[in-house]
């Protein structure tokens, strides 16, 4: 899989993409990352990439020409063909006004052979890039950054870890927060939703502990050291449900709950009612 990043600050990516899973994925040729300096696609002495906005107003805007020319140099599939859900390539404009980047968007990107990430700067990017060049605008959250580079690095990381072979243990990416349909759901009786494993299945992840079992008087929950796998699974699932209910109840609406999950949620809610004044 190849990421192509269009930026006016190519050096920004020295570092963020040189560690851990992303570095190993690059070394193993699972991914390739092309970093393209938009200034190389300018034609004036000053290598100008920005200009004042038509109609006046604050700040500067990234000009369309370098972005269009850079993308053309990559011989990308024409836009009409890219818009099919089975297309091999996609072109993304980083923008705070875009649709939110989520695990499910990462799962869509990992299906593509090439993902182009256009990083804006200043007051943003000439609107024609969004309307005529990019397939979609993606935001990494409801806040405004100075540029799209951090978002691009974040997308490369989140997508790379979904590639088969990127993680030491392939099951890890199936069992993380937000990941719907974790790989090892067990189907119960007919018509019943899948029985939950401890794994995410769209919930937030359960708490993790490692040695020492007692750290400065802070002990690991007893259930995790008693070796009863079914109890551990139930405890983890309960913790994941509890945390999701408390912090991200919106996620629960999209999760397929098993009868065991519903029982655990009833217990959690009953417990909360008893605690509240």
User: Binding of ligand SAM at residue 66 (CB under 6 A)?
Assistant: no
Do 188 and 195 form a contact (C-beta atoms < 8 A)?
yes
Part of the chain binding ligand SAM (CB under 6 A), chosen from 48-56, 121-129, 221-229, 246-254: 121-129
Does residue 199 interact with ligand SAM by CB under 6 A?
no
Helix (H, G, I), strand (E, B) or coil at 14: coil
Q: In the chain, which ranges are continuous DSSP H helix?
A: 20-27, 64-73, 79-82, 103-109, 127-132, 149-160, 229-247, 249-252, 259-275
In angstroms, what is the minimal distance from the CB of 108 to ligand SAM? 17
- The contact mask relative to ligand SAM for 148-177 (x = CB under 6 A, - = no) is x--x--------------------------
The nearest distance, CB 52 to ligand SAM, in angstroms, is 14
Out of 15, 143, 253, 275, the only residue in the binding site for ligand SAM (CB under 6 A) is 143
Q: How far is the CB of 187 from ligand SAM (least distance, A)?
A: 39
Which residue in this structure is represented by tokens 């605008």? Answer: 137
Please, what sign has the CA dihedral across residues 145, 147, 150, 152? positive
95 interacts with ligand SAM by CB under 6 A: yes
Whether the CB-CB separation of 147 and 111 falls below 8 Å is answered with: no
Q: Which residues bind ligand SAM (CB under 6 A)?
A: 94-97, 119-121, 123-125, 139-141, 143-148, 151
């Amino acid at each position: 899989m190849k990421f192509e990043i269009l930026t006016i600050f190519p050096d920004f990516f020295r570092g963020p993409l040189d560690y851990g899973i992303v570095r190993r994925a690059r070394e193993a040729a699972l991914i390739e990352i092309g970093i393209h300096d938009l200034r190389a696609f300018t034609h004036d002495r000053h290598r100008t990439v920005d200009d004042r906005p038509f109609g006046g107003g604050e700040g500067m805007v990234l000009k369309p020409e370098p972005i269009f020319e850079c993308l053309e140099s990559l011989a990308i599939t024409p836009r009409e063909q890219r818009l099919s859900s089975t297309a091999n390539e996609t072109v993304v404009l980083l923008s705070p006004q875009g649709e939110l980047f989520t695990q499910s968007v990462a799962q869509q990107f990992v299906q593509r052979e090439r993902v182009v990430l256009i990083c804006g700067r200043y007051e943003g990017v000439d609107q024609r890039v969004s309307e005529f060049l990019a397939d979609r605008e993606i935001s990494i959250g409801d806040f405004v950054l100075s540029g799209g580079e951090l978002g691009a690095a974040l997308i490369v990381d989140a997508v790379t870890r979904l590639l088969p072979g990127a993680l030491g243990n392939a099951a890890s990416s199936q069992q993380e927060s937000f990941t719907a349909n974790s790989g090892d759901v067990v189907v119960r009786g007919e018509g019943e939703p899948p029985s939950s494993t401890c794994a995410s299945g769209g919930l937030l992840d359960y708490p993790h502990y490692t040695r020492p079992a007692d750290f400065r008087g802070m002990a690991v929950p007893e259930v995790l050291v008693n070796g009863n796998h079914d109890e551990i699974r139930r405890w983890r699932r309960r913790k994941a449900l509890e945390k999701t209910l408390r912090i991200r109840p919106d996620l629960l609406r999209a999760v397929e709950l098993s009868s065991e999950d519903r029982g655990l949620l009833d217990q959690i809610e009953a417990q909360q009612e008893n605690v509240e004044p």
